[in-house]
A = this chain, B = another copy of it.
């Protein structure tokens, strides 16, 4: 069932505010722009901004991760193949946002710069990853995986492979396609990682 008018208006308004905010951030820097300025530039009251996003950093957590996560995750999730799931979702989002191989000034990669460079934004995304991890852990546990195993595995993929790939991709200047990094990252976990005699 499609969205009601109110919901569509709400999403459109949020999108507009996000774009407006990113323009201001790109011009003056993240911390130099106040919520009041964003709200004014977008033509809403500060109070409305907070109703939409909760916090200044909510601009990023709402859009990039949560929204994408909801739709794609539901249809792509395969609890028996976490690396594959991650790979498919990232590839899908990346391809949609970067059709020509170039990452344009587009959602959801436009704001990624601030996710990786602004500690406050990064922290907000970490919290979003925490929530996602909690749901995935619950799903894995309902399939009989032990708590510790489920938790460590999910967190290793989200915080290690996914965010690590994102970070390295950004640090390398966003030249090579992001899915390549995710691929490599998964390979690291697939074989006993980075030491001579593994655990012990």
Q: Which A residues form the contact surface with B (CB < 8 A)? A: 80-84, 119, 122-124, 126-127, 130, 140, 143-145, 147-157, 159-161, 163-165, 167-168, 171-172, 181, 183-200
Contact = CB atoms under 8 A, between A and B. Distances in A.
Contacts of A149: 184, 188, 193-194, 199-200
Contacts of A126: 123, 126
Contacts of A119: 127, 130
A151 B96 CA distance: 26
Contact of A156 (B83, B140, B193): B193
A83 B189 contact: no
B165 A152 contact: yes
Q: Tell me if A's interface is mostly helix, strand, loop or mixed.
A: helix
Given A151-B164, A195-B80, A156 B189 contact: yes
Q: How many copies does the complex hold?
A: 2
15 contacts: A81-B200, A82-B195, A122-B127, A123-B126, A149-B188, A149-B193, A149-B200, A151-B168, A152-B185, A156-B159, A156-B164, A157-B160, A187-B199, A190-B192, A190-B199
A83 B130 CA distance: 23
Contacts of A172: 147
Given A152-B165, A156-B164, 17 more contacts: A80-B195, A81-B196, A81-B200, A82-B194, A83-B200, A119-B127, A145-B199, A148-B185, A152-B160, A152-B164, A152-B193, A155-B159, A155-B160, A156-B159, A156-B188, A159-B159, A190-B199
A181 to B, nearest CB: 6
Contact of A188 (B83, B148, B171, B194): B148
Contact of A122 (B130, B163, B192): B130
Given A82-B194, A192-B191, A199 B152 contact: no
